[in-house]
Amino acid sequence: MATERNAEHTRTRILEAAQEEIYQNGYQGMRIEAILQKTHLAKGALYHHFPNKLALGYAVVDEILMTHIQTNWNEYASKYSDPLTAIQQMFLDKAECYKNEECFKGCPLNNLNQEMAAIDQGFHERLEKVMESIYQSIVGSLELGQQQGHVRADINPTKIAMFIMASYQGIMGAAKCMQAPELLSDLFGTLNDYIDTLRAPEKTH
């Protein structure tokens, strides 16, 4: 059991170091040597878990990005009974988190989409799966909000979910391109103003 735990711990360390390298330098700029330096592992230990760089990159998407996004969304969805407020607060927290970064790297998922989705089928399939997970989570929340009376009954959750997801990716991409994370507050604020228009009118007694 101890050996299994140590192996799993080693694997997790490798994945976390790889994710950090990809975020800093992109997948194509990720160097195995840098991961070995960060984890203080021998090359054989890394290749025991991941036979090559591509397998490591795929695992980062499958296990790090997917898990982080699902966990993050579930935390907000469980904290707020109103799905619109959950979405808005998540955007505000993102803006607050990144506003003081000297070198804004953008959204890890968006970065990999831009870099790898069009040139590698394995990355494309995995990134599409992550995006689909986000999309379905928003659709489900909006539909639940309609059933609970928080969200207008006349909106189309599938169209709105895609628009919200695309807007988020665009905002993060624009702030990265302009190296202006301070813009996130205004941009997400504008998106949140739109989300407010999705609210069901308050019932009068």
**Secondary structure of 43-108 in the HEC alphabet?**
HHHHHHHCCCHHHHHHHHHHHHHHHHHHHHHHHHHHHCCCHHHHHHHHHHHHHHHHCCCCCCCCCH
Lowest mean pLDDT among 6-15, 83-92, 152-161: 6-15
Average pLDDT over residues 155-177: 95
CA distances (Å), 123 to each of 33, 56, 130, 176, in order? 22, 11, 11, 22
Burial 124-133 (b: 16+ CB within 10 A, else e): eebbeebbee
From the number of C-beta atoms within 10 Å of its C-beta (0-12, 13-18, 19+), residue 185 rates as middle
Spatial contact of 133 and 65, defined as CB atoms under 8 Å apart? no
Is it the case that residue 99 has pLDDT exceeding 90?
no
CB atoms within 10 A of CB 109: 20
Q: Find how far residue 76's CA is from the centre of its chain.
A: 13
In the prediction, which pLDDT does 104 show? Answer: 87
Contacts of 67 (CB under 8 A, 6+ apart): none
Can you read off the two tokens belonging to residue 96?
């607050």
CB atoms within 10 A of CB 70: 14
Is it the case that residue 183 has pLDDT exceeding 60?
yes
The mean pLDDT value of the chain amounts to 92
In the prediction, which pLDDT does 165 show? Answer: 95
In the prediction, which pLDDT does 11 show? Answer: 93
CA dist 139 and 9 (Å) reads 35
Average pLDDT over residues 76-89: 93
Spatial contact of 70 and 136, defined as CB atoms under 8 Å apart? no
Is it the case that residue 60 has pLDDT exceeding 70?
yes
